[in-house]
A and B are shown apart, each in its own frame.
Chain A
Amino acid sequence: MSESEVALNDQDASTEADLAGAYEEDDDEDAEPITAQKVLEILETAWTNEMCAPELLQHQTDMLELMLSQVAHMEEQMRDLEKNDFRYVVHQMELERIRYIMTSYLRCRLQKIETFTQHILNQEAAREPADKRLSPEEAKFAQEFATHMDEYFHKVATQYMPSQQRGEAEQRIVTPNLMSHVFLKANVAVSGVIVGVDDEEVDLTPGSQHIIPYQLVADLIQKNQAQLI
């Protein structure tokens, strides 16, 4: 019994080292080693931010890849355990929680991609590679989705409309309401945040909570100075 537990421990240690290695390859020389725990925290924040933000946020491909391999690795390690072994059950429960976070996160993004397809594609086209919000896989999906949707509307309706009447019907651009109100929690002290149309300013203290139009704090979310709740 303790033998496989030891195996699990050893593997855990080496996985964390692997994770650090993988992360360093991607990032520059000054990157700190990252633990699986940290990756999970980043994903959890990305998940809640994504659920609460009206627009699509920056993708987290690197973190997702790391976590997916960590999960696969853990499953591999668990293969030798009995299904009703205490350790098997606990690890399995944790993996279910992590899988839920990852799938819920990606579903949330897909939903935004499907709703604001053309708007997102237009924005992406104007962004530098480093600022892209869609992962390459999402970009492909978005493009295909736009094509299929266009095809459908064209075949069923717009092709039968007088040509001068098609333009706006064919565009169907849906944009998110960036001024919609969100709940925000400050992670660090931020001074001079404009909170109203009349340029009223407020200093945010760490841990403080606010309701505010999203657009006024979008950059704080991006910089992880605050998170949506």
Chain B
Amino acid sequence: MDPSIIEFIGEKCMISIIPNFSNEPLHLIYGSVGPFRAGFPVFVPLWLAAHLRKQQKCRIVPPEWMELETLEEIKEEEKRSKYFTKMPSEHYMVVAQLVMSTSPDDVPRCEELRTVIKDIFDIRESKLRTSIDAFIKGEGTYAKLDNLTLLEIHSVRPILPYSLDHIARYQRMATASQRDTSMLGLNTTGANSGTNSMSNSFFTQ
């Protein structure tokens, strides 16, 4: 899955904006948004918020968790915990990135937030790498991945399933090649225990 698709999916998250215009509700296919009243907060999908913000038609209200103290706590908790802690949003990276890039002015202490969020992501990524390493060495084929967000899952998507598939393939090949070598001997009736003549199968499929 392309990263742009992860972002696309994350853009469905609802976020609060304060419009500077008024309008009746809009009946979108995925559901209604609005009414919009200048100066009053209203929830809209992230993709719409980003668009309105770029057109200077609204201010984005950062989600509650996009606040320095909260994020510092999350970071400490993530450090302490052996397992992955539950993130405040399933798309916390996508939301944070999009909000901070479209409207840094709407986010108090934006630069500090950016650093903490990056720290949290890095702590989780390194945890992820360690557990994958253990998982593969333990020759597992199944694991529970609770509290990992889509982006994090995506960050291991090419490598983890791929290596597991390869290991499984080698295991199958090892079994199959044992079979093959025993079959090769089939024709040489004396030396090997085979009974069936193979030579014809060389020329007919």
Contact = CB atoms under 8 A, between A and B. Distances in A.
A37 to B, nearest CB: 5
A39 to B, nearest CB: 8
Contact of A94 (B30, B144, B148, B204): B30
Contacts of A216: 142
A123 interface: no
Interface in B143-180: 143-148, 150, 153, 157, 160-161, 164-165, 168-169
Contact of A229 (B29, B57, B150): B150
Contact of B144 (A91, A196, A208): A208
B8 interface: yes
Interface stretch (A111-119, A132-140, A144-152, A164-172): A164-172
Given A164-B204, A179-B168, A195 B29 contact: no
Interface residues of A, number: 50
Interface in A198-217: 200, 202, 208-213, 216
- Contact residues of B: prevailing secondary structure: mixed
Nearest to B150: A229
Nearest to B1: A51
A22 interface: no
The winner among B9, B143, B161 for most chain A CB atoms within 10 A is: B161
A85 to B, nearest CB: 10
Given A40-B30, A93-B48, A183-B153, A210 B205 contact: no
A86 B157 CA distance: 39
Contact of B141 (A36, A90, A213): A213
Interface in A50-81: 51-52, 70-71, 74
B165 A209 contact: no
B40 interface: no
Contacts of A202: 142, 144
A210 B47 contact: no
A97 interface: yes
A9 B51 CA distance: 23
A197 interface: yes
Contacts of A167: 204-205
Nearest to B142: A195
A211 B29 contact: no
A8 B144 contact: no
A196 B142 contact: yes
A48 B57 CA distance: 33
Contacts of B8: 97, 100
Contact of B30 (A37, A166, A177): A37
Q: For chain B, which range describes its interface: under 10, 10 to 19, 20 to 34, or 35 or more residues?
A: 35 or more
Given A94-B30, A180-B165, A183-B153, A209 B47 contact: no
Contacts of B164: 181, 211
Interface string B65-104: 0000000000000000000000000000000000000000
A51 B164 CA distance: 19
Contacts of A20: none
Contacts of A166: 205
A18 interface: no
A96 to B, nearest CB: 10
A180 B153 contact: no
Contact of A181 (B48, B165, B204, B205): B165
B191 interface: no
Interface of A: 2, 5, 8-9, 12, 36-37, 40, 48, 51-52, 70-71, 74, 86-87, 89-91, 93-95, 97-98, 100, 104, 164-168, 177, 179-183, 195-197, 200, 202, 208-213, 216, 229
Report, nearest first, the 8 A-B pairs whose CB atoms are least far apart. Answer: A167-B205, A181-B161, A195-B142, A12-B27, A209-B145, A181-B164, A180-B165, A36-B29
19 contacts: A5-B24, A37-B31, A51-B5, A86-B57, A87-B23, A91-B26, A95-B29, A104-B5, A167-B204, A179-B168, A181-B164, A183-B153, A197-B141, A209-B144, A209-B146, A210-B142, A213-B141, A229-B150, A229-B153
